Amino acid sequence: MAEKILMKGNEAIAHAAIRCGCDGYFGYPITPQSEVMETLMEEQPWETTGMVVLQAESETSSINMLYGGASCGKKVMTSSSSPGLSLMCEGLSYLAGAELPCLVVNVVRGGPGLGTIQPGQGDYFQACKGGGHGDYRMIVLAPASAQEMYDFVDLSFELAFKYRNPAMILSDGVIGQMMEKVELRPMKPRWTNEEIIKNMPWATTGKTPDRKQNVITSLALDAAVHERLNHTLIAKYKQMEDEDVRFENVQCEDAEHVIVAYGCMARICESTIEMARKEGIKLGLLRPITLFPFPKKEINRLVPHLKSMMSVELSTGQMLEDVQLAVNGRIPVNFFGRLGGIVPSPEEVLEAFKNSINK
């Protein structure tokens, strides 16, 4: 078995990028995710795999460097935290409009504005409902451990290239800063130019006499062409919902009540479930791993057997709306959240749950 190394979630992102054959990282430092670029700079992958690591002059530059790299069919990524992500939203919309694959990591802190550097989950809407302008979606993965931070880098690239669409890892200050055991997966080589030309016929790899030029743009002034582009995008998002929903069920099968939580809150709620079970309360946990596409069908399957659901988030209730949509009024959907970078303990969540069903 491969050696297990103690590392932060942020460090795991960096090691995973190098080892899964990423071509380029472009970023700008911000707490609580600065270890991503720090680790990459320490590892110096340009000496080994040839991966480029560049500190851009701003987040706006980073995201547009992704546009350039992705246009050439390269595996490119950036990472930031909430305020930095806001600066990238214009670029994300352009990447989605031009159908470009890339990976953006957001290690969320409390907002709005500069907010706090402590953990938050208030960027759910930004990640799942847009952020940038126009009708677009991103594939959004929510890791709940350092190992998942590692594994979701490769998975994100896989999905981003499958759909030619930006993918996001939506993490938080807890998962980014926490150290856990991480198993490094086998090294994957970077794609060669020949492989890129063969597998990414849309990329701007240099026109040859036997094909038309490839144009990467999100601009379509012809109404019919533009409507067609939007329908192409919608079809992709539909396919994501059909093929790539991921979630984890913890003791949901005999549960009377289910907590829905992702990222760090899923870890904390797992302890809440254990405590509740000791008291004889049949409580389960649904952990969405993909926040878009959201596990609507799974909620739909669980609802007939449940008395209530509760969304637990480090926000004022954002994922809550997706849970409510999926439940569609059939059972009560309650909410518990803490703000300001305060992360509730498992006991606090259990008490909130008990209050929610006794009110």
Partner 1 sequence: MKEEIIIAGFGGQGVLSMGKILAYSGIMQDQEVTWMPSYGPEMRGGTANVTVILSDKKISSPILSKCDVAIILNQQSLDKFEESVKPGGVLIYDPNGITRIPSRKDITVCSIAAVDIAAEIGNSKGYNMVVLGAYLKMRPVVTLENVIKGLKKSIPERHHSLIPMNEKAIAAGMEKIEIKNSL
Of 73 and 119, CB closest to partner 1: 119
Of 104 and 174, CB closest to partner 1: 174
The reply on whether position 9 binds partner 1 by CB under 8 A is: no
Of 242 and 347, CB closest to partner 1: 347
Q: Tell the smallest beta-carbon distance from residue 308 to partner 1 (Å).
A: 22
Q: Residues near 130 by Cβ (< 8 Å), separated by ≥ 6?
A: 93, 136, 137
Of positions 27, 32, 84, 288, contacts partner 1 by CB under 8 A: 32
The reply on whether position 271 binds partner 1 by CB under 8 A is: yes
The reply on whether position 129 binds partner 1 by CB under 8 A is: no
The reply on whether position 38 binds partner 1 by CB under 8 A is: no
Q: Tell the smallest beta-carbon distance from residue 298 to partner 1 (Å).
A: 20
The reply on whether position 178 binds partner 1 by CB under 8 A is: yes
Q: Tell the smallest beta-carbon distance from residue 341 to partner 1 (Å).
A: 9
Of 244 and 348, CB closest to partner 1: 348
The reply on whether position 73 binds partner 1 by CB under 8 A is: no
Q: Tell the smallest beta-carbon distance from residue 169 to partner 1 (Å).
A: 18
Closest C-alpha among 296, 306, 359, 295 to residue 330: 306
Of 63 and 269, CB closest to partner 1: 269
Of 42 and 135, CB closest to partner 1: 42
The reply on whether position 83 binds partner 1 by CB under 8 A is: no
Of 317 and 346, CB closest to partner 1: 346
The reply on whether position 276 binds partner 1 by CB under 8 A is: no
Of positions 78, 79, 118, 318, contacts partner 1 by CB under 8 A: 118
Of positions 148, 270, 313, 322, contacts partner 1 by CB under 8 A: 270
The reply on whether position 228 binds partner 1 by CB under 8 A is: no
| Three-class SS of the chain | CCCEEEEEHHHHHHHHHHHCCCCEEEECCCCCCCHHHHHHHHHCHHHCCCCEEEECCCHHHHHHHHHHHHHCCCCEEEEECHHHHHHHHHHHHHHHHCCCCEEEEEEEECCCCCCCCCECCCCHHHHHCCCCCCCCCCEEECCCCHHHHHHHHHHHHHHHHHHCCEEEEEEEHHHHHCEEEEECCCCCCCCCHHHHHHHCCCCCCCCCCCCCCCCCCCCCCCHHHHHHHHHHHHHHHHHHHHHCCCEEEECCCCCCEEEECCHHHHHHHHHHHHHHHHCCCCEEEEEECEEECCCHHHHHHHHHHCCEEEEEECCCCCHHHHHHHHHCCCCCEEEEECCCCCCCCHHHHHHHHHHHHHC
Interface with partner 1 (CB under 8 A): 4-6, 31-32, 117-118, 173-174, 177-181, 264, 267-268, 270-272, 274, 343, 345-348
